[in-house]
């Protein structure tokens, strides 16, 4: 596995849309992609250190209909201009992954045009899958050929032909030598001959052992394609669906099940670093997919802290919307300019910057193991851990803040490093924490030596992100909350006097099965001795009587 990938945060751009190119190639060279260098400060502010660019090579229309693998699409620029762009990205610590569209080409591909011109006399007839001269194509050609998934504008290549493989490998060699790319995303990988991937891997890894190969896989066992012989990783469509639908249905069991199945001890993909995303150039924008836009930060907290490498689709950091309409992807692939970028009304871009900084700071979030800790419909807690570090993610999709209890070993304090530096004591391997309404926390486990202020200053210095250091006033609520928790643990069995004068006896404690909140069971010591139950936090409340603050229940003595 390429080591750099574990510490990566990806940004995905569809260049033809991003640059506002004409729908059809007009043959005029315009250096539209040069604007990408102006985006570098924005990418660095987000914490991005890897850029995945959709198709950039010569094509007739959308880029996936390649006509020439050896030249940049003239609508974007030329080879020389793209080389300068790549150099600038590398100078700023941003790696480059290109879209390798090797399953099919467009009808303008030079070898296919030779078949159209010369018929059976063409030396390239064997370059295309199931091409024969016993019929006619849907486009009226005097031959039939296989189109990818029934799309005859996309001509399927014959990857069993050594000449075709050689042509594609030489193209990759050019990209590596001239543009110094760091990896490839392999389009329609589930349709490609595995032997081609083996040959591609041998070539790329011999040339650069750190070169990364990632395949587009929508269904099936990812291990079929991501293994020591073919690719390093694949697109994690299982968790893509699980992330958004678990929020829409307020059912964290769904994504918890997927992560357990994939990444926990014994999980089927625990040794893979999968490519995680919540939207891309083929699916609706996450801001259009979510039923409640308030969940968009939780979605990204999950994306950045689960095992694998996170990817942001261009513009989604501003929660822009977009849906497929009438089989058109145009709304998913808009033109964007920094000068007219949408306002960050959800605060998501800032949230992503913090998540990037936190992820890169903690080894456990980059390569740690995975374990679910607490799963409920509306709350989820999981941990990432190495031998010497544990970090927990806590999520809540309820419209109110929620307190949760769970067991955790290996430290005595949990400190939130994402929101406000809140600290929670671990007593007898048990902790009681508050998760904000429709919010999340990322908590580092330690033994009392973690300085949140120093942490903020360090990542502000190391990363291109501003993490606010809360003032004492900002933390006052947290301190009050901690005091309340301490009071809850001080409740004893015995006699209490209610502030209205009646006496009661606390006889037991219990945990609410739905909220996991600590409750007190007590009986009245008058009349018929009825039994009552009340949340421990409320039992410990202070109330105001005649201008004085007094305990709701005052301890008298132990019950005889």
Same domain, 344 and 439: no
> CA 8, CA 49: separation in Å to the nearest integer?
6
Q: Please give the DSSP secondary-structure letter assigned to residue 303.
A: H
Please state the rounded mean pLDDT for residues 474-491: 48
More confident residue, 329 or 557: 329
Pairing of strands 503-511, 10-13: unpaired
Q: Answer for the pair 89, 96: CB distance below 8 angstroms, yes or no.
A: yes
> CA 334, CA 97: separation in Å to the nearest integer?
21
pLDDT at 477: 39
> CA 22, CA 365: separation in Å to the nearest integer?
42
> Half-sphere exposure of residue 70, counting CA atoms within 13 Å on the CB side?
7
Name the token pair of 557. Answer: 């003595």
Q: Answer for the pair 421, 452: CB distance below 8 angstroms, yes or no.
A: yes
pLDDT at 474: 40
pLDDT digits (tens, 9 = 90+) for 324-344: 998 889 999 999 999 888 888
Pairing of strands 413-416, 423-425: antiparallel
Phi, psi of 128, rounded to the nearest 5 degrees: -125, 140
- Of 136-140, 270-274, 447-451, the one with minimum mean pLDDT is 447-451
Please state the rounded mean pLDDT for residues 40-55: 97
Where does 200-302 show beta strands of DSSP type E?
A: 212-215, 233-234, 275-277
Same domain, 133 and 259: yes
- Of 43-47, 59-63, 492-496, the one with minimum mean pLDDT is 492-496
Same domain, 356 and 369: no
Could you tell me the pTM of the whole model? 0.84
Residue 219, domain extent: 3-361
pLDDT at 491: 85
Domains identified in the chain, total number? 3
pLDDT at 540: 84
Task: Name the 3-class secondary structure at 30.
Answer: coil
Q: Which of 346, 361, 376 is the last residue of a domain?
A: 361
- Of 17-21, 181-185, 269-273, 506-510, the one with minimum mean pLDDT is 506-510
- Of 262-276, 441-455, 516-530, the one with minimum mean pLDDT is 516-530
Q: Please give the DSSP secondary-structure letter assigned to residue 182.
A: -
> CA 240, CA 259: separation in Å to the nearest integer?
11
Cα separations in angstroms, 517 against 89, 405, 433:
50, 7, 10
Cα separations in angstroms, 222 against 59, 98, 102, 201, 232:
30, 21, 19, 17, 10
CATH of the domain at 405: 2.60.40.1180
Statement: residue 484 has pLDDT above 90: no
Considering only CA atoms, which of 269, 411, 451, 301 is closest in space to residue 365? 301
pLDDT at 485: 43
Same domain, 318 and 382: no
Please state the rounded mean pLDDT for residues 100-108: 98
- Of 253-267, 392-406, 477-491, the one with minimum mean pLDDT is 477-491
pLDDT at 515: 65
449 pLDDT band, cuts 50/70/90, is: confident
Please state the rounded mean pLDDT for residues 438-447: 97
> CA 13, CA 11: separation in Å to the nearest integer?
7
Phi, psi of 79, rounded to the nearest 5 degrees: -60, -40
Which residues have CB under 8 Å from 49's CB, separation 6+? 7, 8, 9, 93, 94, 95
CATH of the domain at 502: 2.30.30.320
Please state the rounded mean pLDDT for residues 349-368: 96
Name the token pair of 290. Answer: 């979510």
Same domain, 36 and 158: yes
Same domain, 379 and 439: yes
CB atoms closer than 10 angstroms to residue 160: 12
- Of 82-96, 188-202, 409-423, 538-552, the one with minimum mean pLDDT is 538-552
Same domain, 117 and 256: yes
Please state the rounded mean pLDDT for residues 539-557: 81
Question: Cα–Cα–Cα angle for 359, 362, 367, nearest 5°?
Answer: 80
480 pLDDT band, cuts 50/70/90, is: very low
Same domain, 402 and 418: yes
Please state the rounded mean pLDDT for residues 473-483: 42
- 400 alpha-carbon distance from chain centroid: 25
Q: Element (H or E) spanning 262, and its range? A: helix 252-263
CATH of the domain at 307: 3.20.20.80
Statement: residue 560 has pLDDT above 50: no
Phi, psi of 413, rounded to the nearest 5 degrees: -140, 140
Name the maximum alpha-carbon separation found in the chain.
106
Name the token pair of 289. Answer: 């997919």
> CA 97, CA 421: separation in Å to the nearest integer?
36
- Of 55-59, 367-371, 408-412, 539-543, the one with minimum mean pLDDT is 539-543
> CA 402, CA 394: separation in Å to the nearest integer?
11
Cα end-to-end distance, the chain, whole Å: 67
Same domain, 121 and 216: yes
pLDDT digits (tens, 9 = 90+) for 159-184: 999 999 999 999 999 999 999 999 99
471 pLDDT band, cuts 50/70/90, is: very low
More confident residue, 541 or 286: 286
- Mean pLDDT, the chain, whole residue set: 92
Same domain, 420 and 539: no
Q: Which of 361, 392, 417 is the last residue of a domain?
A: 361
Q: Which of 450, 483, 516 is the last residue of a domain?
A: 483
Does the CA dihedral 498-504-506-512 come out positive or negative?
negative
Same domain, 505 and 449: no
β-strand partners of 494? 506
pLDDT at 147: 97
Q: Answer for the pair 305, 335: CB distance below 8 angstroms, yes or no.
A: no
> Half-sphere exposure of residue 542, counting CA atoms within 13 Å on the CB side?
8
Same domain, 308 and 369: no
- Of 275-289, 473-487, 530-544, the one with minimum mean pLDDT is 473-487
């Amino acid at each position: 596995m390429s080591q750099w990938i574990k510490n990566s945060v990806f940004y995905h751009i569809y260049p033809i849309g991003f640059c506002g190119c004409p729908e059809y190639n007009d043959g005029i060279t315009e250096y539209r992609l040069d604007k990408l260098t102006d985006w570098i400060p924005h990418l660095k502010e987000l914490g991005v250190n890897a850029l995945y660019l959709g198709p950039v090579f010569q094509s007739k229309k959308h880029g996936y209909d390649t006509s020439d693998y050896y030249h940049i699409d003239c609508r974007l620029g030329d080879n020389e201009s793209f080389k300068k762009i790549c150099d600038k990205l590398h100078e700023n610590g941003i790696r480059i992954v290109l879209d390798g569209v090797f399953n099919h080409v467009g009808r303008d591909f030079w070898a296919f045009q030779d078949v159209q011109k010369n018929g059976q006399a063409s030396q390239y007839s064997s370059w295309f899958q199931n091409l024969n001269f016993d019929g006619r194509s849907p486009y009226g050609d005097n031959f039939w050929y296989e189109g990818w998934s029934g799309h005859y504008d996309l001509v399927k290549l014959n990857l069993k032909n050594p000449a075709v493989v050689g042509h594609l490998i030489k193209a990759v060699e050019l990209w590596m030598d001239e543009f110094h790319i760091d990896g490839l995303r392999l389009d329609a990988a589930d349709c490609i001959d595995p032997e081609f991937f083996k040959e591609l891997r041998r070539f790329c890894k011999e040339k650069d052992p750190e070169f990364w190969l990632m395949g587009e896989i929508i269904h099936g066992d990812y291990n079929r394609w991501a293994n020591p012989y073919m690719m390093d990783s694949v697109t994690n469509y299982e968790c893509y669906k699980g992330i958004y639908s678990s929020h829409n249905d307020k059912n964290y069991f769904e994504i918890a099940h997927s992560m357990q199945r994939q990444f926990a001890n014994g999980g089927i993909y625990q040794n893979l670093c999968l490519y995680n995303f919540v939207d891309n150039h083929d699916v609706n924008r996450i801001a259009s997919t979510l039923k409640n836009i308030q969940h968009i930060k939780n979605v990204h907290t999950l994306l950045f802290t689960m095992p694998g490498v996170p990817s942001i689709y261009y513009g989604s950091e501003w929660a822009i919307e977009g849906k497929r309409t009438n089989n058109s992807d145009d709304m998913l692939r808009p033109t964007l300019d920094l000068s007219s970028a949408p306002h960050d009304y959800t605060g998501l871009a800032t949230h992503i910057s913090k998540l990037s900084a936190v992820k890169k700071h903690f080894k456990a979030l980059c390569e740690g193991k995975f374990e679910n800790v607490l799963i409920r419909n509306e709350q989820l807690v999981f941990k990432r851990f190495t031998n010497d570090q544990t970090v927990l993610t806590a999520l809540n999709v309820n419209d109110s803040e929620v307190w949760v209890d769970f067991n955790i070993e290996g430290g005595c304090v949990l400190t939130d490093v994402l929101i406000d530096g809140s600290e929670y004591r671990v007593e007898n391997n048990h902790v009681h924490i508050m998760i904000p309404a429709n919010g999340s926390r990322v908590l580092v486990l330690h033994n009392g030596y973690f300085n949140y202020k120093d942490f903020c200053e360090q990542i502000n210095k190391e990363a291109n992100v501003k993490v606010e250091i809360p003032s004492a006033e900002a933390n006052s609520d947290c301190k009050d909350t901690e005091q309340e928790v301490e009071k809850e643990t001080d409740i004893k069995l015995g006699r209490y006097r209610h502030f209205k004068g009646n006496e009661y006896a606390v006889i037991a404690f219990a945990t609410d099965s739905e909220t996991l909140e600590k409750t007190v069971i007590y009986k009245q010591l008058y009349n018929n001795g009825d039994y009552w139950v009340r949340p421990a936090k409320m039992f410990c409340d202070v109330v105001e009587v005649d201008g004085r603050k007094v305990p709701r229940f005052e301890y008298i003595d132990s019950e005889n």
